[in-house]
Amino acid sequence: MDFDLSEEQELIRATARGLAEREIAPIAAELDEHARWPDEIVTRMAELGLMGVAVPEVLGGAGMDNLSYVVAMEEISRACASCGVIMSVQNSLVCDPILRFGTEAQKRDVLGPLARGEKIGCFGLSEPGSGSDASAMKTVARRDGDHWVLDGTKNFITSAPRADVAVMFAKTDPAAGHKGISAFLVPMKDQPGLSLGPKEKKLGIRAAWSSGIFMEGARIPAENLLGKEGEGFKVALSTLDGGRIGIAAQALGIAQAALDQAVRYSKERTAFGAPIARLQAIQFMIADMATELDAARLLTWRAARLKDAKVRYTAQASMAKLMASETATRVTHKALQVHGGYGYLADFPLERHYRDARITESYEGTSEIQRLVIAAAVLQG
């Protein structure tokens, strides 16, 4: 498998890195401290094609591949994980399923504005009583003439407070278990029967707003069904496969930022008459961080390559997400240790990376779920 980036992929990485270093990094701490939605950054990402990286140009996207998306995601997340997850939700969880399962009208009228960044999307799967066990969802949808009527509650929905449309999941045949789940495109603005909970106060990724979604008799046109009736579980699982690659890339960016800061600090901080970078204990931590990060990156790139090749990549996406997210947690932990007491201060960006890293082990499938997916693939041969 070729891991060399093409000229176009190098260009999109350089473009994302330029935006991250010049415009995102200088305000990342302020975004986090005030939990401010980064309107100006979302606009700039849209202008650069980063809100629909793998969507064909004819449909409003950048027309690039999934590896391009991964390298761009890492660069954005290296500066601000909140901006990274907004980009990830838009690309992986909203644009991708509409591109793969949507009708031509849905691609034209819904996907186009999303890929151009004119509208924001969210992904309505998780519920108060069904996180990892998505088939246990309680949200239902019943057909009423030329409409569907939705009732239920979703929670932890990233981008929901700013979203214009949701890829929403509900049971259309509750007795059929996971085979009775369907997917819908639900308008989020001025939609009767739909309301939002308060913005959630979170440990990290504070600038990426999330909230619950409440539906009581929310009526949507029948043509808003995404894919076929009863195939929503398939839509959800296949979407999460790609989403895990995006979160792996986000985790890479967080870990790379932490490693960069640990290396820089170790060269500046002196102890026992010399920079601490000369201490073997520090060198061992940096060596471990760099090695784990490189391994996680290779796994993530492999998963993206497989998705681009249109072959099955479920286990590989889980491996990438598991390795990258747990690497981000370990790397930020060790980087904080390199910084000593200073790493614990909010004055240093490492404190923010440390908090942001933790969520990557939870959303879009916990580490435990990733291990189940990987084990199933290995045991089935």
Active site residues: 364
Q: Which two tokens stand for residue 215?
A: 């539906």
Q: Which two tokens stand for residue 81?
A: 């994980």
Residues composing the chain: 381
Using CA atoms in the order 64, 68, 70, 76, what is the torsion angle rounded to 10 degrees?
-100
326-to-271, 359, 371 alpha-carbon distances in Å: 30, 10, 12
346-to-33, 132, 353 alpha-carbon distances in Å: 9, 33, 10
State the sign of the Cα–Cα–Cα–Cα dihedral 137, 141, 142, 143: negative
CB atoms within 10 A of CB 224: 18
Distance of CA 221 to the CA centre of its chain: 29
Q: Could you give the CA distance from residue 248 to residue 319 in angstroms, rounded to a whole number?
A: 9
Using CA atoms in the order 191, 200, 77, 234, what is the torsion angle rounded to 10 degrees?
-50
Q: Could you give the CA distance from residue 337 to residue 335 in angstroms, rounded to a whole number?
A: 5
CB atoms within 10 A of CB 40: 11
- Nearest CA to 309 out of 1, 85, 100 is that of 1
- Nearest CA to 247 out of 204, 310, 300 is that of 300
Q: Could you give the CA distance from residue 47 to residue 33 in angstroms, rounded to a whole number?
A: 26
Q: What residue has token string 């644009």?
A: 95
Q: What residue has token string 């890492």?
A: 74
- Spatial neighbors of 199 by CB under 8 A, at least 6 apart, are 35, 161, 209, 210, 211
Q: Could you give the CA distance from residue 352 to residue 350 in angstroms, rounded to a whole number?
A: 5
